[in-house]
Amino acid sequence: MLRTRTLIAIAIGALALTATPAVASAPAGNPPDGLVKAMQRDLNLTEEQAKKRLVNEQKAGRTAPGLAKRLGADYAGAWVEGPESTLVVATTNPSQRRVSGAELRVVAHSMAKLDAAKEALDKAADKAPKTAPVWYVDVPTNSVVILSSVPADAEAFIAASGADKALIRVEQSSEQPVPYADIRGGDAYYIGSGSRCSVGFSVTKPGTNGGFVTAGHCGSVGATTRGANQQAQGTFRGSSFPGNDYAWVEVNTSWTPVGVVNGYSAGIIPVNGSTVAPVGSSICRAGSTTGWHCGTVQQLNTSVTYPQGTVNEVTRTSVCAEPGDSGGSYISGNQAQGVTSGGSGNCSSGGTTYFQPVNEILSAYGLTLVTGGGNPPTGCQNYRETYNGSLASGANQYQPNNSYYQSTVSGTHAGCLDGPSGVDFDLYLQKWNGSSWATVATSDSPNPDESISYNGSAGYYRYRVHAYSGSGSYTLGVNRP
């Protein structure tokens, strides 16, 4: 059900982050190896510098607020600088000799003045040219900065805003920011000059940015898409209609596939698998025209003939739909079922709809369903904490959240790995021995799912998830003492 008239774009809402347990503070002098190595790589530091930065930055975060209060109206900002993150605080008072816990610098403009200048620009934001998309308070240079590809345009913006020009400097820049957004089932997307369909489910595929599955009649291979926010989104990489009615769209790097469906009035619905619901099961659909509606599965393996031809092996339901809902998500509980193909009737008087089963689409294009948007899969349902990730073949990830946790008592550490079908993922429990991480328990069967139970003493622990072969998304369930 493809909507062919141009509609007003809807904004993508921010996805609430799933709360995760707090991670214990790092052992003194022994931050996680992965964190230190990443800092060495990305900040061009030595190992010693990286470790000192971590200590100094934590201290700076505690010290800076007190310095701001102590300096009062003379305060002009605080920052850290140098390879080891030395704390610097600025003041407009030349008689101020020293402050405890930081290097002191005397500057011309107070923080209050800089903030006022930026506020003037903020209030005139509707007059900002597209060539000047970014402005900010830059405390190390004691100024407000506007980034602009055409400096003259930025100067005109300053004049129109009424801000104090003496506090503002313009920097030549080609920066043109665009919003990042999540791919969620049920959200709108646009094809070509304005036709609209709905996202089915987020997927990944090795060697690509990932994307989503949808209806084949929504677009042909090579067609480009825009998201609900009207920003460039992706390209149809596969499409089949009639005979089938499925397609997949690879998204660009501004979009992140996540394992959820936008349930509109029902809220955000987690996707935790794709087990087929039997006839008679309740099932709900999300689409960008009519939102969230439910019904029952009436028949599997149905053939339906549209004016364009016959589509085989679709599922018939009592859920209503309307033009623009095409491609949208059918889900039963937290199990993905398929994408909207077509039907009859509407959501005012009722109707019958057909969906293309999602497992057939995944198989046809070698895709992996993105899961883990809420509760853990049924295989790990009894675990108190869950962590989600995605691995390429041969890669490793460390949980929780690329860090570790502290156990202050002895007891059982239990881990449950639920990986995608057709891969071999392994699970390792590691403990910090004072100088390195040592593996204390292993589960490395030739399967996607693994489990560990280890009775250990107090200390610092982490899980290593390894993709021995294959790639895709996983969920790790964790119980700890």
Categorize the per-residue pLDDT at 377 as very low, low, confident or very high, splitting at 50, 70 and 90: very low
254: left (phi over 0), alpha (psi -120 to 50) or beta: alpha
Percent of the chain with pLDDT over 90: 50
Instruction: Indicate the average pLDDT of the chain.
Output: 86
Over residues 357-370, the mean pLDDT reads: 93
Per-residue pLDDT at 285 exceeds 80: yes
Over residues 49-70, the mean pLDDT reads: 86
The verdict on whether 326 is a catalytic residue reads yes
Percent of the chain with pLDDT over 70: 90
| Candidate from 42-46, 148-152, 344-348 with smallest mean pLDDT | 42-46
| 58 against 347, higher pLDDT | 347
pLDDT digits 0-9 by tens, 383-431 = 778 888 888 888 999 999 889 999 888 888 888 998 887 788 999 999 9
CB atoms inside a 10 Å sphere around CB 169 = 15
Question: Would you state the pLDDT for residue 26?
Answer: 37
- The catalytic residue among 240, 274, 326, 390 is 326
Categorize the per-residue pLDDT at 10 as very low, low, confident or very high, splitting at 50, 70 and 90: very low
- What CA–CA distances, in Å, run from 62 to 25, 83, 101, 178, 457? 15, 19, 10, 33, 32
pLDDT digits 0-9 by tens, 109-126 = 999 999 999 999 989 988
How far is 205 from 191, CA to CA, in rounded Å? 22
Go through the domains of the chain in sequence order and give each one's CATH number.
33-106 (3.30.300.50), 111-172 (3.30.300.50), 181-373 (2.40.10.10), 378-479 (2.60.120.380)
Question: Would you state the pLDDT for residue 379?
Answer: 58
Question: Would you state the pLDDT for residue 192?
Answer: 85
Question: Would you state the pLDDT for residue 14?
Answer: 23
For residue 250, what are the β-bridge partners?
A: 211, 235
- The catalytic residue among 74, 182, 187, 245 is 245
Question: Would you state the pLDDT for residue 386?
Answer: 84
Question: Would you state the pLDDT for residue 269?
Answer: 86
Per-residue pLDDT at 36 exceeds 80: no
Question: Would you state the pLDDT for residue 234?
Answer: 96
The verdict on whether 410 is a catalytic residue reads no
- The catalytic residue among 74, 143, 198, 217 is 217
Categorize the per-residue pLDDT at 13 as very low, low, confident or very high, splitting at 50, 70 and 90: very low
The verdict on whether 418 is a catalytic residue reads no
Question: Would you state the pLDDT for residue 29?
Answer: 47
Here the tokens at position 393 are 């073949």
Question: Would you state the pLDDT for residue 2?
Answer: 54
Question: Would you state the pLDDT for residue 465?
Answer: 95
